[in-house]
Amino acid sequence: MAGRCCGGSQDSAEQLNDQVWRRVLWIALVINAVMFGVEIVAGVTAGSASLKADALDFLGDAANYAISLGVAGMALALRARAAMAKGVSILLFGVWVLGNTIWMATQGTVPAAETMGIVGVIALVANLTCAAMLWRHREGDANRRSVWICSRNDAIGNIAVVAAALGVFGTGTGWPDIAVAAIMAALALSGGWQIIRQARDELRSGPTRRRTETAPLH
């Protein structure tokens, strides 16, 4: 009876945790989708490489949150595969940002610093809100950790965008914007690799764990 009661409590706790996780993901999904629209318009209007990079980052995060919602509560192997897909998408995003940054550098345009600063602050508040909600889940499996890494990188990127706006305003050149976009590309490449590595480890340990759990007791 005691074992059954303990098991029931554990199941209830896990179900409650999944419900909290899903609610947090839905809120983060809406925030990121809205901010994608805001930043992509602002990035094109202001001619800012870092704002456009951050906008696509918001879009990628919204898609990642949707994937996480789809696999929440599923087996570890499925969650690890979803995390692997997200890691690859983040790596591809980093490659795109790097390429776009190089192209923007050859154009020599000077973005609108005021627009960069205002939108950068709004984006920072949005990402800090998401990061605060996701903080308790940062030490979970690869899927949950990937969501936390995305939000953490985004907040760092937003601070850099605001700094770039100040740099553009102070120097009258577009190089601070280019430098920040390059940093955001590096963050994406690093974060994507971290997620892929943990997901790969979980996929490798899955069969071993199943054999251990099903091994007969002597």
Write out residues in the chain with pLDDT < 50, as ranges: 1-13, 15-16, 211-215, 217-218
Q: What is the pLDDT of residue 14?
A: 52
pLDDT of residue 3: 42
CATH code of 8-212, in short, is: 1.20.1510
Q: Where are the domains of the chain?
A: 8-212
DSSP 60-120: HHHHHHHHHHHHTTS-HHHHHHHHHHHHHHHHHHHHHHHHHHHHHHHHT----HHHHHHHH
> What does the pLDDT read at residue 204?
85
Q: Which pLDDT belongs to residue 206?
A: 63
Its sign, for the CA torsion 162, 166, 169, 174, is: negative
Tokens for 153, please give them.
């990188």
Global pTM reads 0.71
pLDDT digits (tens, 9 = 90+) for 147-206: 777 788 788 888 989 999 999 999 999 999 999 999 888 878 887 888 888 888 888 886
Distance CA 42, CA 96 (A): 19
> What is the C-alpha separation between 51 and 44, in angstroms, rounded?
8
